[in-house]
A and B are shown apart, each in its own frame.
Chain A
């Protein structure tokens, strides 16, 4: 009988220990996660004589490519134009953002092509980290759309947006 009581007592003690541990873990989980440091803004150079048509565009462009360089597809997605956000399949977009090279060090903006009053193209070069002693540049053309008061990136990649028509 005594042995039985002793056994029951031990079980009870073990349960208290387990419950205590679980509560301890629970308290740890309740603590707010450490804030993730915002990525360091990328360096944007501009070609001699180049001028941004709009300060907000310059800011949004830098913020967007900072997020892309950091691999923050969720953050970058918020910069995409409304139709892109409704057309794109998230997994495909996420994969696309992660697949695009991020070994570039800075961006040099070459020129702006004004397509319409609200749509512009930004031609720029990505300066690639010189691995074998020589530096390289990759040309990019970005589209940006001004929808009342805000510039949005327009992703024009038919493989990502699924827009079978793509560019003309």
Chain B
């Protein structure tokens, strides 16, 4: 009888230890978490290697920030219906999915830039302010330029100007979106 009780307690104790060990192992490398995702040291190391191969070096904090940005943009790509699912690691090595996440980051970035609002007024104002950029003849007059000396402000031209305006704000657009997504996904960075 005593033997059975001792055996049961030992078994329960072993289970408890295993559970604790598993919990500790799962949280030990966690660097940041948000709604439905966790970023651990493995993710950061994998991205560090990925960018190192491309010749980029950064601090650990910058790498974590970068992993977070890539993850949130990829997540938003899924939430906004650009993709149907997110990549999943097949083993402990996360290098294989790092490239895939980065591809999704770029996909959402492109979407962000394409949909960023630029007013018609701003496009028109840019066109009128830089007539020298729109000269039909590059060697044409630089003063007293007439309307007929310029390329027509058609859809293609408008798109070109729009892209220029958006590109000038690229860094701000990305950072604002990153901040928005951090709030939206309740991101917490572990101390």
Contacts and interface: CB of A to CB of B under 8 A. Distances in A.
A114 B125 contact: no
A152 B125 CA distance: 10
Binding site secondary structure of chain B: helix
A165 B164 contact: yes
Nearest to A161: B168
Contact of B128 (A85, A114, A147, A168): A147
Interface in A138-168: 143, 145, 147, 152, 154, 156, 161-165, 167-168
A116 B128 contact: yes
B152 interface: no
Given A86-B119, A86-B122, A86-B165, A81 B132 contact: no
A85 B169 contact: no
A114 B144 CA distance: 6
B131 A119 contact: yes
Interface in A93-125: 113-119
Interface residues of B, number: 27
Contact of A87 (B131, B133, B142, B165): B165
B121 interface: yes
A89 interface: yes
A151 B57 CA distance: 47
Interface in A38-89: 81-87, 89
B172 interface: yes
B145 A116 contact: yes
Given A83-B122, A86-B118, A86-B122, A162 B169 contact: yes
Contacts of B125: 81-84, 145, 147, 152
Given A83-B122, A168-B133, A115 B143 contact: yes
Given A87-B168, A162-B168, A154 B129 contact: yes
B20 interface: no
Interface string B91-135: 000000000000000000000000000110111111011111100
B119 A163 contact: no
A162 B170 CA distance: 9
Interface centre among A81, A86, A156, A162 (most CB of B within 10 A): A86
Contacts of A85: 122
Nearest to A156: B129
Given A86-B122, A162-B169, A165-B133, A118 B164 contact: no
Interface centre among B122, B129, B131, B142 (most CB of A within 10 A): B129
Given A115-B143, A147-B121, 6 more contacts: A86-B118, A86-B165, A89-B169, A116-B147, A119-B131, A165-B164
Interface of A: 81-87, 89, 113-119, 143, 145, 147, 152, 154, 156, 161-165, 167-168
17 contacts: A81-B125, A82-B119, A82-B124, A83-B123, A83-B129, A86-B118, A86-B165, A86-B169, A89-B169, A89-B172, A115-B145, A116-B144, A145-B125, A147-B124, A147-B125, A147-B128, A167-B132
